Amino acid sequence: MTDITDDMRKYSSQVVDGIEATPARAMLRAVGFTDEDFSKPQIGIASTWANVTPCNMHIDKLAEEAAKGADAAGGKAVIFNTITISDGIANGTEGMKYSLVSREVIADSIETVAGCEGFDGLVAVGGCDKNMPGCLIGMARLNRPSIFVYGGTIRPGAGHTDIISVFEAVGRHAAGELSLAQVKQIEGTAIPGPGACGGMYTANTMASAIEAMGMSLPGSSAQDAISAAKASDCFRAGRQVLELLARDIKPRDIMTRKAFENAIRVIIALGGSTNGVLHLLAMAHAVEVRLTLDDFIEIGKSTPVLADLRPSGKYMMSELVAIGGIQPLMKRMLDAGLLHGDVLTVTGRTLAENLADVADYPAGQGIIRPFDDPIKKDSHLVILHGNLAPTGAVAKITGKEGLRFAGRARVYQGEEAALSGILDGEVVAGDVIVIRYEGPKGGPGMREMLSPTSAVMGKGLGKEVALITDGRFSGGSHGFVVGHITPEAFEGGPIALVEDGDPITIDAENREITLGVPDAVLAERRACWTQPQPRYTRGVLAKYARLVSSASEGAVTDKPEGGR
C-alpha cells in the first residue's frame, strides 16, 4: 500500500473536507463511502463499457479490476462511464458521421466528470479506436496523475477471419466470387467474442502508440481482451496511479515532444493506421506540444515498416501478442537509436529502464522483420502535398500497391454514391475515385471510407484504381488510398473543383498529389463554386461542424482563436 499524504488529495479534499462539505459527504455515503474513505485520494475509473460493440462489451469487468487495484493501494476508486460507438457497425451509413465526434464527447465527458467530482487521479479503460485518443485528450486536459488501459484485442474468427474479412466479402460477392451462403458463413464466424478489431487497425495502432508514449503500463497494448494478463494489467494500473500521485507525475510530464516522436516511430514500424496521424496531432494539441504533418514526414524518412500485420500484411494482433507484443520491437528500436530512451513513463521509470530486461522475439517468428529486411525502408504513412492538397493529405502506402498512380477522376459526392458506383461496375481500372464533402466540416464528422475501400479490394481492383477523399480511412483500409485531403471540399479546397475525367497523379516517392488541370481552368471553376448549405443545423453534428479545425491540425474542437 502506498503511504497516503494530504498532498495526494489536492482535488478531493476540496469536495469532501470540512463542515461545508457535509452535503457532499452525505451523497457519497449513499454510494458506499465510509468515514475512512473520505481521507483517501479519490481515483476516477473511466469505463467505456457498453453492449454496443464487442470492442467494449467486457470493459465493465476490467474497470472493476482497476478499481480493486486503486483500493488495494490506499485510494478510493469511483467508477464512471463515458460513451463508445462502433465504427464496424456504423460504417457506410449516416450514423458514421458521429464516429470522430465521439472522440470529443469522450474527452469532454472525462474532463467534465473528473473536474466536477474532484478526482485526484484517473485510470481510463478503452476498447474501440476513438476511446483511446478521447481518453488521453481528457486526461491531458486535466493533467492529474493518470494511466490508460487498453481493453485488448479480439481473437481471430474461423479461417483466420476478422471484421475486414466481412467487409471485403461484400465486394467479393459483387464480383461473383462468393455466394450469399458463403458471405453468411463469414458473417457468422468472423467476430468470435470480446475485443477490438484484430489487425493493426486503429484500435491496436492507438493502443501501441499510447504504450510507446509511456501512458500505459508496459505490455498493455498487446494482450488478448479475455485473458489473465489483461485483468492483471488493469489491477496494476489502478495500483500504480497511487504511486504516480505520491510522486506527482502527471500526463504533461510524460506526453512530451520526445514521447510523441517515439509513438510516431512505433506506429510506423507496426504499419499502423492513418488515423494515428489525426489522433496524435489532437493529443499533442491537448498538451500543447507542437506537432505537425511535417514531423511525420521527417520521422518517417528514417523509420522502416517492420511488422507483417493486417490489413496489408498476413498476421493478426493476437499472433503478435503470442510472441511478446511490441516490447521486443521497442527494445530493438531503442538499441538501433530510433527511440528516445530517457523519457518518463507511468511506471515512474524511463523507457530505457522499462526495456532493459525485455527478451527478444523467439527465433523463427515471421511477424516482425529485421532492420536489414524491412517491408518498406521508410514510412508507409506518406504525407502528400500539391495543388490538390495544398495543406496536406495522408496516404497509407506500404509499397505493395506501387508507389505511383496516374488515372482519371471519377467523382462522387459522398460515400454512398461511391460505394454504389464500385459495386455496380461504374468504377473501372485506371480510375481515381474521388469522394468529397466528407471532411470534418462538410460531412460533418469525417467518415471512414471502409465500405468503398473494402468493395474495391473485394472486386479485385486493389491495384487497378486509387481512391482519394477529404474523409478518412479505417485502419482496416488498404490499397492505393489517400485521405485527409485539406483544405476539404466544404471549405472550397481544390478537391471541390475536380470533375470527371480530370487527370490525377499520386506520387508517393516525391510525396505529391497533383490535379492535371491548368490554373486558369481551376480559377473558372472556383468562380462558379458555391459552398453547400450545412447538412445539420442543430445538435451535436452541427456544433461539431462549427467548432472543428482542419484534419491537418487533428480535427480538434477547442482550438483557440488565432492559435494552436
Strand 381-386 with 389-396, pairing: antiparallel
Identity (one letter) of the amino acid at 379? S
Cell numbers standing for residue 72 = 488495494
Q: Which residues contact 271 (CB under 8 A, 6 or more apart)?
A: 200, 305, 306, 307, 308, 309, 312, 313, 375, 380, 398
Q: Which residues contact 337 (CB under 8 A, 6 or more apart)?
A: none
Strand 389-396 with 480-483, pairing: antiparallel
Is 255 buried (19+), middle (13-18) or exposed (0-12) by CB count in 10 A? buried
**By C-alpha distance, which of 392, 380, 385 is closest to 514?**
385
What is the DSSP annotation of 522-562? HHHHHHH--PPPPS--SHHHHHHHHH---GGGT--S-PPTT
Which residues are catalytic, by number? 474
Helix (H) / strand (E) containing 47 = strand 42-47
What is the C-alpha end-to-end distance of the chain, expressed in Å? 41
On the CB side of 95, CA atoms within 13 Å amount to 7
